[in-house]
Amino acid sequence: MEVNLVTLLITIVKIVAVIAWVYGLLWVMSKSRWLKIIGIIAAFGVVQLALTSFGDFQILNDFDRGLLFQASAMAMVVLGLSLIYGFNGQFSLAQWGFYGIGAYVAADITYRWADGDARGLLIVGIGIILGGLTIWGVNQLLKRYKGMPVLSAFTLYIIGIVAAGAVAAVIANALNPALAPLLGTISAPGVLNSAVARQVIFFLAILLAGLFSAGVSFLFGLPVLTLGSDYFGIATLGFAIVVNTLMVNSDTILPFPEMKGGRGMVGIPQMGGMAWFWVFVFLLLVIVVMRNLIQSSTGRAILSVREDETAAKVMGIDVAGQKLWAFVIGSFFAGLGGAAYAHSTGTGFLSPGTFSFLAGFNPLIIVVFGGLGSMSGAIAASFGWIFFLEGLLRVILGQLGTDAPTWRYVLYPITLLLLMLLRPQGLLGTAEWGFLKAPFVKPRVKNQTGATTVAAGK
């Protein structure tokens, strides 16, 4: 029992240290330029050092490493849902579906590339470029013919996207034979499968997976966001179920035998020693983009829709457009999180069960737990929740028997229920830490001569 107690205390210390690391990262990002750069490098280095093995000694073992990467990916997903639900007020259960889409798209790109097939990268990359141009073109057309019904506009977008995808497939099939000799195979990798080239492909795969998720969310959200909040929530739940069903049948319904359907995709290339670098970079990217978006005029428009749609319309805000913007950007974050997770598991395995619609409630629970409308709460709750649920409760319940750890799925809803009774606004409410705090703007007042001055204050 003494050894178990020590393990339990070490696990608690790790959870506290992770939350302190999150706070320190957000705090140092609010400082001057050079202090910010030094602080970010230090934040990255501390974790990288903890993941490094020194003989038999390692601060964060392989189990902790898995929790860290899972929590980082979850933070990206939860920040996206926080934008959609916490800041824009749209109750969505589709976030886990976009998380899965990002994971499978990125995994398929890198899997094919390692096997000497560049079509995954080419089709997705060219398709996204052509799809973006198509969306822009249709949008310009719709501006000329205002008042077109939503379903008619949706039909135009679908036709254009399908055509763009077909053209991308033709171009990819034409270019692939020229790249194949440079790619080689898994057993005999070519120049484009060198260590440096692989890291570039990892970066592109994660970015393209996020953009692909954003594109799917645009097409899905265009007609569905016209529904009321409750009906929108039901539609997003249906979307998550459809995505999971396609994953289970990806080797039969979809032309992707390498995904192996319900058996799970195996052999996914992993980022290895660069895993934490890329995960940290994309997590930082999501935090910075989210913070700047919320504090911009677009962010204020997104917030106004949550507060009062009617008042927002009266003020000239495009309510439907702001809902769609929030939904697309939030889905983009989820796609990035899924892609990063797929290449940092260490096992090279993806199972459709990971992306079931029941697991899709986790981001929603974490958003509420951290506090609706709090980016800091979303990030801290993501790390704390994963380390608490998959770490601490596993340690405690693991001492009671082999089947006991499954009881954590009973205990954490009880924990959430108690939180809602004692602190319904979540742990942080709307509070923000460091870099995520809104900048203080001194009010401008007019003096007796009519000149405008800045009022004194902190």
Q: What is the pLDDT of residues 136-189, one digit of tens each?
A: 999 888 888 877 788 888 899 999 999 999 999 999 999 999 888 888 777 777
Q: How far is CA 55 from CA 51, 63, 86, in A?
A: 12, 17, 45
Highest mean pLDDT among 16-20, 278-282, 353-357: 278-282
* Residue 55 counted as domain residue: no
100 or 306: which carries more pLDDT confidence?
100
Residue 411 sits in the same domain as residue 377: yes
What is the radius of gyration, based on Cα positions, of the chain? Answer: 23
Q: What is the average per-residue pLDDT within 234-255? A: 88
Q: Please report which helix (H) or strand (E) contains residue 454, including its range.
A: strand 452-454
Residue 165 sits in the same domain as residue 195: no
* Residue 297 counted as domain residue: yes
Residue 10 sits in the same domain as residue 131: no
Q: Which of 183, 211, 232 is the last residue of a domain?
A: 183
Residue 175 sits in the same domain as residue 197: no
Highest mean pLDDT among 39-53, 118-132, 190-204: 118-132
Sequence-ordered alpha helix ranges (H) in 315-407: 319-342, 361-370, 375-386, 393-398
Are 106 and 206 in contact by the 8 Å Cβ rule? The answer is: yes
In one letter, which amino acid is 342?
A: A
* Residue 25 counted as domain residue: no
Residue 96 sits in the same domain as residue 156: no
| CA 253 distance to own-chain centroid | 27
Q: What is the average per-residue pLDDT within 35-39? A: 91
Pick the range with the lowest mean pLDDT from 119-123, 322-326, 390-394, 424-428. Answer: 390-394
Q: Which of 165, 183, 201 is the last residue of a domain?
A: 183
Residue 237 sits in the same domain as residue 338: yes
Residue 172 sits in the same domain as residue 202: no
Strand partners, 189: 184
Q: Helix, strand, or coil here: 142?
A: helix
* Average pLDDT of the chain to the nearest whole number: 85
Give the model confidence (pLDDT) of 178-236 as tens digits.
888 888 777 777 888 888 888 999 999 999 999 999 999 999 988 888 777 678 888 88
Q: In the chain, how many domains are there?
A: 2
Q: Which domain holds residue 126?
A: 117-183
* Residue 28 counted as domain residue: no
Residue 430 sits in the same domain as residue 322: yes
Q: Which of 220, 229, 104 is nearest to 158 (CA)?
A: 220
Residue 206 sits in the same domain as residue 259: yes
Q: Which of 150, 167, 183 is the last residue of a domain?
A: 183
Q: pTM for the full model?
A: 0.90
Structure confidence at residue 395 (pLDDT): 66
Residue 150 sits in the same domain as residue 205: no
Residue 277 confidence (pLDDT) above 70: yes
Residue 138 sits in the same domain as residue 244: no
Q: How buried is residue 21: exposed, middle or buried, by Cβ count under 10 Å (0-12/13-18/19+)?
A: middle
Residue 356 sits in the same domain as residue 389: yes
